[in-house]
Amino acid sequence: MFSSLSQLRTVALTSYLALIAWVLIWHGFLSPHPHINPVGVTIAWLIPLMLPLKGILTGKPYTHAWANFILMFYFLHGLTLLFVDEGERYLALVELVITSISFVSNILYAKQKGKALGLGLKKLSQVEKEEKARFEQ
């Protein structure tokens, strides 16, 4: 799919920044909430995306991995509106596509960067052997 770590990073970073821009455009300009302060709503939608932004900008694999938990809120929002709100269906589809690209690229980048840094999870069998050896002493 992607031939290098730098391409994965570019896609992950670009899609994450695109989601921030899309949320700003959607909630701030294209379809502001009519009954509540649109600036407040837009800021409320942007705050969760700002939490991992520093780590994503610096390319930290751990941050890319846990940022996906935040992306799931936007994925669920887009998926729900896709079926519920006919007026914002296409706006939700754009959010869904951007969020999906960001989610997949974050996973791939975190995995490849973690391997490059020598990080990783031990296999369960190895952990079991280590625990067994520790408790047998």
10-41 burial, b at 16+ Cβ within 10 Å, e below that, comes to: ebbbebbbbbeebbbebbbeeeeeeeeeeeee
pLDDT value of residue 1: 59
Domain of residue 28, residue span: 5-136
pLDDT value of residue 121: 67
pLDDT value of residue 113: 94
User: pLDDT tens-digit profile of 40-65?
Assistant: 999 999 999 999 999 999 999 999 99
pLDDT value of residue 2: 61
pLDDT value of residue 30: 95
Q: Please identify every stretch of the chain with a pLDDT value under 70, giving residue numbers as ranges.
A: 1-3, 121-122
pLDDT value of residue 101: 98
pLDDT value of residue 127: 79
Question: Dihedral of the CA atoms 58, 60, 66, 67 (nearest 10)?
Answer: 20
pLDDT value of residue 62: 94
pLDDT value of residue 12: 98
* Number of domains the chain is built from: 1
